[in-house]
Structure formats: C-alpha cells, structure tokens
Structure 1
Amino acid sequence: MVFKGRPPIERRVREQFWECLRAGQDTVSAACEVQVSLTQMRRWLVQVGGVRPRRPVPPSGRYLSLSEREQIDEFRRDGWTIRAIAHALGRSP
C-alpha cells in the first residue's frame, strides 16, 4: 500500500490534545505536549470550528473485543463448550 504525504496522526494523539485543552492548557502548550506541529493543531481547530468536540463514548462492552474473539477461537479448538467459554470470559452464553 502506498501513501502520499505524511502518515495520518493516530486518533489517540488527537484525543490527548483535546484532553490537555480540557485540563486548562492553552493550545500551543497542548500541541507541544502531544508533539504535534502548530500547523496541525490549527487544522484540528478549524475542522471543529474552534469548538472542542465531545469526549468519545467509551465502548459499552456489548460487543466482543478482538482479544475475546481470539480467546473464543482457541477455546473452541481445545473443545470447550460454549457455556464454559462464557463462564471463563465473564459473559453470557
């Protein structure tokens, strides 16, 4: 896969930037703390219209995570029953 330009900045870096602003830091020091250029920081501010976005909603736990799916696969290969797997993961069958 070929990318043009710089690789995209990870989502967690952007979230850390907004958390720094929520904690009371000014925009320049927040950008420096998460090691983002001032140009990129300005782009983020323009994209949201200068208003801080809402905090991301944490996962509800309703859906299985990738690690849980991998564990289920291993348990099924070992011959575990669905109820035994559910008990081991702390989930309902």
Structure 2
Amino acid sequence: MWADAGCALADVPVWAIHGELDDVVNPAGSIDTIEAIRGCPGVTPDRAQLSIYPGLMHDGWDQAYSGSQGDDIYSWMLAFTRD
C-alpha cells in the first residue's frame, strides 16, 4: 500500500493491529507502513498507531475490540472527524 499511496495514507488516521504470530497477514507489512507514515510531514503519533499483540495469531481482533490488551480503539476512532 505504501508504494502506491505514500504520504497520502497519512490523510486518514490508521491503527494497525496484529497478532505477533500472525501467519495469514505478515505484521511486517503494517510495521513498515506505520513507521513510514510516522515519517510523513505533520503526522502526529495518534494518527499512526500500531499494536502487536504478543503470542497471538491472526485472530487478534477480539482483543483489539474488547480492550483486553489495554487499547481503547473506540475512543481513538471517536477522536477524529472528517472536515
């Protein structure tokens, strides 16, 4: 995705969430993309989030949405509006 869109990805807040052991979608793709977005001009840390859940496989969405890993994705989403 980064190769196609570059810093245009920074126009929309992104929170990438992966299980550390994900064997379906390699977390490295999100790690690289989030790090690249963070390097774009004007990007604040809250607009490019990354959570890698230790010991989890591809099905980390339950932990992401429940907040059991300490992330509050709902408050994060509600903090942004479209102008």
More helix by share: 1
TM-score (norm 1): 0.26
Q: Compare CA radii of gyration and give the structure with the larger one.
A: 1
